[in-house]
Amino acid sequence: MKVIIAEKPSVAREIAKVFGANTKREGYIEGKGYTFTWAFGHLLQLAPPQEYGFYGWSVQNLPMLPQKFKLSIRKVKTKDGVVEDPAVKKQLDIIKNLFEEATEIIVATDAGREGELIFRYIYYYLKCKKPFKRLWISSQTDAAIKDGFRNLKPGSDYDTLFNSAHCRSQSDWLVGMNATQALSISAGTRSVLSLGRVQTPTLAMICSRYIENKNFVPQTYYQVSIQVDKRGQVFRALSDKNFKTKEEAQAVLDKVEDVPTGFPQGANIISVEAKPRKELPPLLHDLSSLQQEANKRKGFTADQTLSILQSLYESKLVTYPRTGSRYIGDDVFAGISALIDKFTGHPDFGKQAIYLQGVKLSKRSVNAKKVTDHHAILPTGETAHQLSADRQAIYDLVVGRMLEAFHQDCIKEITKIVVESGFKFIATGTVISVPGWRAVFNDTDDDKKDEENPALPKVQQGELLPITEKALLEKQTKPKPLYNEASLLKALETAGKEIDDDELRYAMKDSGLGTPATRAAIIETLIKRDYVAREKKTLVPTGTGLAVYEVVKDQKIAQAELTGSWEKRLEEIRSGASITDFQEEIKTYTRTITQELLKAGVSLKAKPGASTPVKA
DNA sequence: GCAAGGTC
């Protein structure tokens, strides 16, 4: 009997369906001589310090450098404390029994570093010796699955991928566990002061932005604005320059020939320029972009959006949610037209779905090469019944974005009028001439400016018009805003883009900080540690958060570059480089940072009121 | 009590 093991039940079901196997058992499906089973993500994790004899939190144990790492069953928090997750234990038992009966194992965990690790940890934990082959597919359509099974790879082809995954896992453990204990012990506080490769740079981003924002000194500047009247249709134009002093602006204002000062036609139209601008449809959503959108539109936290999306996925209403790709392959695209047809009766989007039936669909989101483990988030087309308000809201964002993504370009008419009246003034106006994809949600532009006119009246070069009003405007430069969840998610995604070192930047280009599946959890961790607090939509550091930031801000552990340098080495390991060099470097680094934090953490002692939130 | 990674 051949056993196929997937990363999660949904994938095992898809594969079983392709084989025509449909006998459902507890924890697996069987039929046609095959057995299809699954994990639930990582079932096993590197064992905690006490399993190597490092009891309590004590300087004597530091740095903790286990000779050989052990695996332990994933834990879950209950009212009786932290225990092995019973569901995980049960599934592991099922897998163990299936592996014992297997003649061959086919590994169908997700095609990536962590997917490989999920399987190998199970395989080694169960001390399994059976031969295994690897299914390597990037989409779960029938065709892709069939093709993948015709091209199964030898399991050993992925040994180096496992090595890189195992190194990632161990390194995070060594640096995270040791740094956390070192800082917590030396600070002498009761609470946990955690540090890690991802959470600490994230905290640093929030804190440095907060400090920059708080210390920002606004600069005052001045502008002159005029209101021009074209037979009852008025528009505003602004001086084409900002002035540092009020006097300069006043001088310009005085020269404006407006009606109240006795000039019936003081505005001279110098030029009129109208240009169409095309806006391509947006890409389909990945998890991060959906979290950002839901935060902006509905105020949902990243964590809320993920959990709502997970429940929609479990109800089979949307495809796999924790994807980092905003694209689909041609195979999925082939079914899009039929999928859109299912939404022609939707109360908000029905009209646009009907419209799309008659036009050529945009292929901007179609690119098989940019589909990684999973494709972009789509509705499945299953009928949604009686969704709660929150689930409906997220579901509609998914459906609406699908319609937008395959819709047509939006065409805008950008008009610029230059007016002269003692000085040069400029009016710009934007009119949507063809809404295209913008018809789906029918909302205004995100980057709308206060000064912009929605539409401008038709005027001609050389025309002389009355200026009905003029004004001197006093304005102030603004600091970069504090992070909210949407802008932080974006910043985590793009972290590393500004690294000077070409190789490190390249190593991080597809990853950023954290992964789509973990970013919401990282934000929650910072809040749980009392490092960061939510104040309405913004994320504000607490006294504790700022104090920890002060201690670590110049250290490697607070820089996104650390991830970049690891990614570079891990990629080398994947292509065959030795793992021992990297492991030795990590050990050395662990010793160094542990020593440094044991000294530096003392500055956190007895900070009065260190845990009270700081007002924005 | 602690990391980051995956998922029910």
Question: Which window residues (266-325, chain A) lie with Cβ within 7 Å of strand B?
Answer: 310, 313-314, 320, 322
Q: Which residue is nearest to nucleotide B1 (CA to C1')?
A: A192
Mean pLDDT of the region A208-219:
97
Contact partners, residue A593, CB within 8 Å, separation at least 6: A175, A178, A179, A182, A555, A556, A557
Report whether A531 contacts A515 (CB < 8 A).
no
What are the residue numbers of the active site of A? 320
> Would you put residue A419 in left (φ > 0), alpha (ψ -120 to 50) or beta?
beta
User: Cα(A368)–Cα(A365) distance, rounded to whole angstroms?
Assistant: 9
Report whether A205 contacts A491 (CB < 8 A).
yes
pLDDT over threshold 80, residue A373: no
pLDDT given for residue A611 in this prediction: 47
Of A309, A290, A366, the closest CA to residue A335 belongs to A366
Report the run of H or E that residue A308 belongs to, with start and end: helix A302-314
Question: Which window residues (29-68, chain A) lie with Cβ within 7 Å of strand B?
Answer: 40-43, 45-46, 48-50, 54, 56-57
Report CA(A79)–C1'(B2) in Å, whole number.
Answer: 19
User: Cα(A237)–Cα(A229) distance, rounded to whole angstroms?
Assistant: 11
Report whether A580 contacts A174 (CB < 8 A).
no
Q: Is the CB of A194 under 7 A from strand B?
A: yes
Distances (CA, A) of A168 to A114, A351, A572: 10, 49, 12
Per-residue pLDDT tens digits for A517-559 = 999 999 999 999 999 999 999 999 999 999 999 999 999 999 9
DSSP assignment string, A67-79: SS--EEEPEEEET
Report CA(A428)–C1'(B4) in Å, whole number.
Answer: 49
- DSSP single-letter state for residue A64: -
Is A516 strand, coil or helix?
Answer: coil
Q: Is the CB of A407 under 7 A from strand B?
A: no
Question: Which window residues (353-372, chain A) lie with Cβ within 7 Å of strand B?
Answer: none
Sign of CA dihedral A369, A372, A376, A380: positive
Looking at this protein, which amino acid is placed at residue A610?
A
pLDDT given for residue A450 in this prediction: 52
Question: Which window residues (198-237, chain A) lie with Cβ within 7 Å of strand B?
Answer: 198-200
Mean pLDDT of the region A271-297:
95
Q: String of b and e for A294-315 (b: at least 16 CB within 10 Å)?
A: bbeeeebbbbbbbbbbebbbee
Name the closest nucleotide to A11, judged by C1' and CA: B7
Q: Is the CB of A190 under 7 A from strand B?
A: yes
Q: How confident is the model at residue A474 (pLDDT cuts 50, 70, 90)?
A: very high
Report CA(A285)–C1'(B6) in Å, whole number.
Answer: 21
Cis before A63 (ω within 30): yes
Name the closest nucleotide to A118, judged by C1' and CA: B6
Report CA(A505)–C1'(B2) in Å, whole number.
Answer: 30
Mean pLDDT of the region A223-238:
93
Report CA(A263)–C1'(B3) in Å, whole number.
Answer: 72
Mean pLDDT of the region A233-247:
93
Question: Which window residues (593-612, chain A) lie with Cβ within 7 Å of strand B?
Answer: none
Report CA(A530)–C1'(B1) in Å, whole number.
Answer: 14
Domains recognised in chain A with CATH numbers = 2-151 (3.40.50.140), 164-215+481-604 (1.10.460.10), 217-278+417-425+462-478 (2.70.20.10), 287-405 (1.10.290.10)
Report CA(A67)–C1'(B2) in Å, whole number.
Answer: 19
Of A450, A475, A449, A481, the closest CA to residue A296 belongs to A481
Report whether A523 contacts A301 (CB < 8 A).
yes
Mean pLDDT of the region A103-114:
95
Nucleotides of B under 7 A from a protein CB: 1-8
User: Cα(A384)–Cα(A379) distance, rounded to whole angstroms?
Assistant: 10
Q: Is the CB of A87 under 7 A from strand B?
A: yes
Please state, rounded to an integer, the average pLDDT across all residues of chain A: 93
Q: Which two tokens stand for residue A559?
A: 């820089």
pLDDT given for residue A446 in this prediction: 54
Name the closest nucleotide to A112, judged by C1' and CA: B6
pLDDT given for residue A430 in this prediction: 87
The bridge status of strand A34-38 relative to strand A2-6 is parallel
Mean pLDDT of the region A125-145:
90
> Would you put residue A250 in left (φ > 0), alpha (ψ -120 to 50) or beta?
alpha
pLDDT given for residue A612 in this prediction: 46
Report the run of H or E that residue A88 belongs to, with start and end: helix A86-101
Report CA(A448)–C1'(B7) in Å, whole number.
Answer: 40
Per-residue pLDDT tens digits for A381-412 = 999 989 999 999 999 999 999 999 999 999 99
Own/partner contacts of A355-359, CB < 8 Å, gap of 24 or more, are A355/A439, A356/A403, A356/A406, A356/A407, A359/A408
Q: Which two tokens stand for residue A139?
A: 């989409």
Of the given ranges (A126-140, A195-209, A297-311, A579-593), which has the lowest mean pLDDT? Answer: A126-140
pLDDT given for residue A596 in this prediction: 95
Q: Which residue is nearest to nucleotide B3 (CA to C1')?
A: A176
Question: Which window residues (154-173, chain A) lie with Cβ within 7 Å of strand B?
Answer: 168-169, 172-173
Distances (CA, A) of A125 to A27, A37, A65, A132, A448: 19, 17, 21, 15, 56
pLDDT over threshold 50, residue A308: yes
Q: Which two tokens stand for residue A176?
A: 């995270």
Looking at this protein, which amino acid is placed at residue A583?
Q
Q: How many CB atoms lie within 10 A of CB A293?
A: 20
> Would you put residue A42 in left (φ > 0), alpha (ψ -120 to 50) or beta?
beta
Mean pLDDT of the region A140-144:
82
Q: Is the CB of A110 under 7 A from strand B?
A: yes
User: Cα(A12)–Cα(A189) distance, rounded to whole angstroms?
Assistant: 47
Alpha helix (H) residue ranges in A266-360: 287-298, 302-314, 330-333, 336-341, 350-357
Q: Which two tokens stand for residue A130?
A: 């059976």
Name the closest nucleotide to A56, judged by C1' and CA: B1
